[in-house]
Structure 1
Amino acid sequence: MRQFGISILLSLCILPLNAQDDAIQNKPAGENDLFAEGFSDMPEMPSSIRVTHDGTLEFDSQKGNFLFQGRVVLRGDNGIVLKSGRVLVNAQAETAKLTGRVSFRQKATKDDTGRTIPGIQLFADRVHLNAKTKTVVLDGNVSIYQGPSLHRGNHAEYHYGTGHLDTRGLASGLGPILLESDRFRMIDRHGKKAFIGDNAGITTHDVAAPNYWLRSDRTTIYPNDRVIFKNLRVYAGKTPVFWLPYLAQPLNTDLGYHFLPGAKSNWGAYLLNRYGIMLGGELDEETGEREDAWLLSQWHLDLRSRRGVGVGLDLLDTRLQHNENLTGLKLYYLHDADPSLERSAVPRGNVNANRWKLELKHRLDVAKRGDNHTYLDFDITALSDRYFLEDFEPGMFKINPNPDNEVGIFHRHPRYLAGLYTRLRLNDFYQTDTRLPELFFDQIKAPICNTPILHEGQTTFGVYDDRLADYYANELRREASTLPPGDRLTEINGLLAERGYTRFHTWHELTLPLNPGGKVAITPRAGIGYTQYSSVDGGGKSFNRTHLSAGIDASMKFSRVYPEFVHPSWGVDGLLHIFQPYANFSQLSTNQLDSSFVGIETLTPSTRPRPLEVGRFTATDDLRDWSILRLGARNRLLTKRDGDSHEWLVMDTYMDVFMNDPEFGRNTSNLYNDIIWQPLPWMRVDFETQFPIAAGGSGFTEIASHITFMPNDALEFSIGSRQLDNHPVLQDSNRINLRAYARISESWGIGLYQQWELDDNTPEVQQYNIYHDFDSWTASLGLMIRDNRDDSNEYGLMLNFTLKEFPAVRLPLSVDNE
Structure 2
Amino acid sequence: MWRWIMAAVMGLVTLCVLRASVLAGSLDIGDAAALGSLDSTAETQISAKADELDYDREKGVLEARGHVVIRRGTDELRADYVRVDMKTHDAIAVGNVVLVRPKATWRGDNLAYNFKTRVASCDRFRVDFSPFQVEAKAMPTAAADRYTIEDAFVTTCTNPMAHAHYKVRASRLDLVPGSYFEAHGALVYLGDVPVFYLPYWYRNLREDIGYRFYPGYSSKMGAFLLNTVRYRINPILRGETSLDLRSRRGLAGGQAFKWNDPEGAWLGEVRGYYAEDQEPMDENDDPALENISSGRYRFFLKHGASFSANDYILVQSEYVSDRDFREDFFEDEFRESRQPDNYAVYTWRDDAFAFNALVRGRLNDFYPAVQRLPELSFEFARQQIMDLPFYYEGATAAAFLDRVEPKEPEPDPANEYSAFRFDSAHMVYYPGRYFDFLSLIPRAGYRATFYSKTRGQETALVTRTGTVTNYQVDASGHTNMFETPFTDTLTVTNDVEAGAKLRNRFEVGLEASYRAFSVWDAGGVPMRHVIEPYANYTLVPEPNLDENAIYKFDEVDKLGEEHKLRLGARNKWQVKDQDRARDLADADVYTTLRFHRPEGEALIRDISAEGELTPVSGVYVRFDGTLNVDAGGVDVFNVRTELKPDEWIHFAGEYRFRKDDFSQVSADCTISPNHEWAFNGYGRYSIEESRLEEVGGYAQKSLDCLAFRLGAGFLPGYTTTAGAQRDDEVRVIFGMWLTAFPHGKLLGRYTQ
Range of TM-score over shorter length = 0.7 to 0.9
Aligned to 2:46: 79
Query: Is the contact made by 1:151 and 1:172 (CA closer than 8 Å) also made in structure 2?
Result: yes
Give, in whole Å, the separation in 2 of the partners of 1:665 and 1:38.
109
Give, in whole Å, the separation in 2 of the partners of 1:457 and 1:304.
55
Aligned positions of 1:345-360 closer than 5 A: 349-360=290-301
CA 1:501–1:259: 2 relative to 1, 3 Å: same
Residue 638 of structure 1 and its aligned partner are, at CA, apart by: 2.4
CA 1:800–1:784: 2 relative to 1, 3 Å: same
Aligned positions of 1:561-580 closer than 5 A: 561-562=519-520, 564-565=521-522, 574-580=526-532
2:529 maps to a residue whose letter is H
The answer to whether residue 603 in structure 2 is matched with residue 667 in structure 1 is yes
1:394 maps to a residue whose letter is E
Secondary structure in 2 aligned to 1:812?
A: coil
Aligned pair partner of 1:306 in 248, 252, 276: 248
Residue 403 of structure 1 and its aligned partner are, at CA, apart by: 2.2
CA 1:666–1:427: 2 relative to 1, 3 Å: farther
Deviations 1:146-174 (A, max 9, x none): 56754321221233456655544321223
Aligned to 1:797: 732
Aligned to 1:658: 594
Identity %: 21
Secondary structure in 1 aligned to 2:326?
A: helix
Deviations 1:196-251 (A, max 9, x none): 7565432122133323223443343544xx54324372421362614263523334
The answer to whether residue 639 in structure 2 is matched with residue 705 in structure 1 is yes
CA 1:251–1:629: 2 relative to 1, 3 Å: same
Query: Is the contact made by 1:257 and 1:809 (CA closer than 8 Å) also made in structure 2?
Result: no
Query: Is the contact made by 1:142 and 1:153 (CA closer than 8 Å) also made in structure 2?
Result: yes
The answer to whether residue 750 in structure 2 is matched with residue 816 in structure 1 is yes
Residue 590 of structure 1 and its aligned partner are, at CA, apart by: 3.8
CA 1:707–1:473: 2 relative to 1, 3 Å: same
Query: Is the contact made by 1:249 and 1:257 (CA closer than 8 Å) also made in structure 2?
Result: no
CA 1:497–1:565: 2 relative to 1, 3 Å: closer
CA 1:411–1:719: 2 relative to 1, 3 Å: closer
Give, in whole Å, the separation in 1 of the partners of 2:274 and 2:668.
34
1:154 maps to a residue whose letter is D
Query: Is the contact made by 2:679 and 2:698 (CA closer than 8 Å) also made in structure 1?
Result: yes
CA 1:760–1:232: 2 relative to 1, 3 Å: farther
Give, in whole Å, the separation in 1 of the partners of 2:632 and 2:502.
32
Secondary structure in 1 aligned to 2:69?
A: strand
2:78 maps to a residue whose letter is L
Aligned to 1:180: 135
Secondary structure in 1 aligned to 2:604?
A: coil
Secondary structure in 2 aligned to 1:328?
A: strand
CA 1:518–1:535: 2 relative to 1, 3 Å: same
Deviations 1:399-422 (A, max 9, x none): 111222223444334432223333
Aligned pair partner of 2:94 in 135, 139, 147: 139
Give, in whole Å, the separation in 2 of the partners of 1:662 and 1:156.
89
Aligned to 1:264: 218
Give, in whole Å, the separation in 1 of the partners of 2:750 and 2:652.
19
The answer to whether residue 397 in structure 2 is matched with residue 460 in structure 1 is yes
Aligned positions of 1:280-429 closer than 5 A: 280=234, 293-319=235-261, 327-341=268-282, 349-364=290-305, 368=308, 372-373=310-311, 375-429=312-366
Query: Is the contact made by 1:433 and 1:600 (CA closer than 8 Å) also made in structure 2?
Result: no
Give, in whole Å, the separation in 2 of the partners of 1:414 and 1:356.
43
Residue 449 of structure 1 and its aligned partner are, at CA, apart by: 1.9
Aligned to 2:60: 94
Query: Is the contact made by 2:441 and 2:510 (CA closer than 8 Å) also made in structure 1?
Result: yes
The answer to whether residue 241 in structure 2 is matched with residue 241 in structure 1 is no
Residue 643 of structure 1 and its aligned partner are, at CA, apart by: 5.3
List runs of 5+ in structure 1 lacking aligned partners. 1-33, 55-67, 110-116, 281-292, 475-492, 568-572, 603-618
Query: Is the contact made by 2:356 and 2:376 (CA closer than 8 Å) also made in structure 1?
Result: yes
Secondary structure in 2 aligned to 1:680?
A: coil
Give, in whole Å, the separation in 2 of the partners of 1:185 and 1:268.
52
List runs of 5+ in structure 2 lacking aligned partners. 1-5, 31-44, 456-495, 719-724
Residue 187 of structure 1 and its aligned partner are, at CA, apart by: 6.6
Aligned pair partner of 1:626 in 562, 572, 575: 562
The answer to whether residue 24 in structure 2 is matched with residue 52 in structure 1 is no
Aligned to 1:25: none
The answer to whether residue 232 in structure 2 is matched with residue 274 in structure 1 is no
Query: Is the contact made by 1:628 and 1:658 (CA closer than 8 Å) also made in structure 2?
Result: yes
Aligned to 1:723: 657
Query: Is the contact made by 2:531 and 2:569 (CA closer than 8 Å) also made in structure 1?
Result: yes
Secondary structure in 1 aligned to 2:605?
A: coil
CA 1:448–1:316: 2 relative to 1, 3 Å: farther
Give, in whole Å, the separation in 1 of the partners of 2:143 and 2:431.
63
Aligned to 2:78: 122
The answer to whether residue 505 in structure 2 is matched with residue 547 in structure 1 is yes
Deviations 1:526-564 (A, max 9, x none): 1101112124585333322100011111111001233x3
Aligned pair partner of 2:184 in 231, 234, 251: 231
2:624 maps to a residue whose letter is E
CA 1:197–1:658: 2 relative to 1, 3 Å: farther
Higher alpha-carbon deviation: 328-337 or 651-660: 328-337
CA 1:142–1:322: 2 relative to 1, 3 Å: closer
CA 1:765–1:664: 2 relative to 1, 3 Å: farther
Query: Is the contact made by 2:512 and 2:536 (CA closer than 8 Å) also made in structure 1?
Result: yes
Aligned to 2:421: 503
Aligned to 2:165: 211
CA 1:258–1:557: 2 relative to 1, 3 Å: same
Give, in whole Å, the separation in 1 of the partners of 2:305 and 2:391.
33
Aligned to 1:637: 573
Question: Which has a greater percent of strand?
Answer: 2
Give, in whole Å, the separation in 2 of the partners of 1:533 and 1:43.
98
Residue 90 of structure 1 and its aligned partner are, at CA, apart by: 5.4
CA 1:261–1:210: 2 relative to 1, 3 Å: same
Residue 74 of structure 1 and its aligned partner are, at CA, apart by: 5.3
Higher alpha-carbon deviation: 578-587 or 439-448: 439-448
Query: Is the contact made by 1:229 and 1:246 (CA closer than 8 Å) also made in structure 2?
Result: yes
Residue 648 of structure 1 and its aligned partner are, at CA, apart by: 2.1
Secondary structure in 2 aligned to 1:524?
A: strand
Aligned pair partner of 1:443 in 354, 366, 380: 380
CA 1:708–1:497: 2 relative to 1, 3 Å: closer
Aligned to 2:434: 516
Deviations 1:598-630 (A, max 9, x none): 63333xxxxxxxxxxxxxxxx111011011211
CA 1:688–1:505: 2 relative to 1, 3 Å: closer
Aligned pair partner of 1:250 in 205, 218, 227: 205
